[in-house]
């Protein structure tokens, strides 16, 4: 009886590899299922804020690109989020009938310690409601956000809501020290453990970091293993990192200018009007010169709140609950000054199509 011809070596190798991969996939699937039966693995902490570790609020979650984001349809104290995971009422799909303004900013825009209806974005939305077409102001402010996060939100989500104009309100957070908490991300990428916001964003654009983020999002087993294997710095290292972090701004001055230019480039490429707001704080002014210079150099509409509200003088404390966050009467002043600048742009005579 003639011998059966043997399979070529490449076919045998491929078959063994296929069986091995299938067995490994089944084993990983079983381990993943078992890990979920044992409970949800802990999420990583918020990076990059206030140089300390913070847990997630009930309406916030980890986000690979934005560092953190707000969750949709949450109702926690004064905070009520909408279908977009932003503060305020639900935003209907864009049908082209509205002039939509994306109000990007930090905790002032978000409206820390005030009702949503008292925020300057909501007040501006109400005051421009009579325009034709309707001007809708979407409050996209998030507490703790820097200019880098605002630009990232604009680039990744701005077009989806049909943005026609952008209000940009960023200042104080850019000058906060970075946090050594995010050394866990950067150490995996093999780079410096103290990163400013922009450098961290670039690190997260690389494939190993993107794969890590995907696994964190989809695999409970991976999150569990990472939490167990994660090596936290010892006390001496933590002190050294903290000292380095204190000396590093979240968004250094050259980076702020670069990101502002990227915002302008994105807006002009998509026929979006950019309006820069110079934030108004009780005791902080370091952010002002660059914003004024940028707007003058690029012919960008500006609402220079510190200059427009300078006449308040020593009474400024009456409009703030703390050095950074305006009270409702402060938001009313901000909304009034913004409206004086943008109404001729978006709603001349209350009738003309601003587009």
171 domain-assigned: yes
Instruction: Report if residue 330 sits inside a domain.
Output: yes
Any domain includes 236 = no
How many C-beta atoms lie closer than 10 Å to residue 145's C-beta? 28
| Parallel, antiparallel or unpaired: strands 302-304 and 273-278 | parallel
pLDDT, tens only, 17-30: 777 777 777 777 77
Distance CA 246, CA 335 (A): 34
Mean pLDDT score of the chain: 84
The reply to whether the predicted model has a pTM over 0.75 is yes
Q: Which of 161, 164, 154 is nearest to 263 (CA)?
A: 154
Q: Which CATH number goes with the domain that contains 100?
A: 3.40.50.1110
In-domain check, residue 335: yes
The residue segments making up the domain with residue 273 are 65-175+251-345
Total tally of structural domains belonging to the chain: 1
Q: Which residues contact 256 (CB under 8 A, 6 or more apart)?
A: 147, 174, 290
In angstroms, rounded to a whole number, what is the distance separating the alpha carbons of residues 274 and 271? 9
Q: Is residue 200 part of a domain?
A: no
Per-residue confidence of the chain (355 residues) as pLDDT tens digits? 555 555 566 776 777 777 777 777 777 777 767 767 777 766 554 444 433 444 456 788 878 899 889 999 999 888 999 999 999 999 999 999 999 999 999 999 999 999 999 999 999 999 999 998 999 999 999 999 999 999 999 999 999 999 999 999 999 999 998 864 444 444 444 444 678 899 889 988 888 878 877 777 778 887 777 666 655 555 666 666 667 666 789 999 999 999 999 999 999 999 999 999 999 999 999 999 999 999 999 999 999 999 999 999 999 999 999 999 999 999 999 999 999 999 999 987 654 444 4
Q: Tell me, yes or no, whether 75 lies in a domain.
A: yes
- Residue 226 covered by a domain: no
Q: Is residue 7 one of the residues assigned to a domain? A: no
Rounded Cα distance between 263 and 274, Å, is: 8
């Amino acid at each position: 009886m003639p011998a059966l011809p043997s399979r070529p070596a490449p076919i045998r190798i491929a078959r063994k590899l296929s069986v091995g991969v299938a067995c490994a996939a089944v084993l990983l699937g079983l381990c993943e299922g078992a890990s979920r039966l044992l409970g949800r693995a802990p999420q990583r902490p918020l990076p990059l804020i206030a140089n300390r570790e913070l847990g997630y609020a009930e309406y916030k979650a980890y986000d690979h690109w934005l560092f953190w984001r707000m969750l949709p349809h949450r109702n926690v104290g004064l905070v009520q989020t909408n279908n977009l995971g932003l503060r305020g009422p639900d935003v209907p799909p864009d049908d082209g009938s509205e002039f939509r303004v994306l109000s990007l900013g930090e905790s002032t825009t978000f409206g820390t310690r005030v009702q949503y209806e008292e925020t300057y974005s909501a007040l501006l939305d109400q005051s421009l409601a009579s325009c034709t077409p309707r001007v809708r102001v979407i409050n996209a402010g998030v507490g703790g956000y820097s200019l880098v996060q605002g630009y990232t939100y604009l680039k990744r989500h701005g077009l989806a809501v049909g943005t026609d104009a952008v209000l940009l309100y960023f200042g104080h957070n850019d000058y906060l020290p970075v946090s050594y908490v995010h050394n866990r991300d950067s150490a995996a990428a093999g780079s410096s453990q103290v990163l400013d916001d922009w450098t961290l964003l670039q690190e997260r654009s690389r494939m190993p970091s993107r794969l890590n983020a995907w696994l964190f999002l989809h695999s409970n087993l991976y999150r569990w293993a990472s939490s167990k294997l994660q090596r936290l710095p010892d006390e001496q290292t933590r002190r050294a990192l903290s000292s380095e972090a204190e000396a590093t701004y979240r968004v250094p001055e050259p980076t702020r200018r670069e990101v502002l230019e990227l915002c302008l480039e994105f807006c002009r490429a998509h026929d979006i009007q950019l309006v820069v707001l110079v934030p108004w704080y009780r005791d902080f002014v370091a952010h002002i010169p660059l914003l004024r210079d940028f707007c003058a150099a690029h012919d960008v509409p500006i609402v220079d709140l510190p200059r427009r509200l300078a006449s308040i003088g020593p009474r400024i404390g009456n409009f703030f609950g703390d050095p950074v966050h305006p009270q409702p009467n402060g938001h009313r002043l901000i909304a009034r000054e913004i409206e004086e600048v943008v109404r001729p742009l978006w709603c001349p005579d209350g009738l003309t199509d601003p587009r």
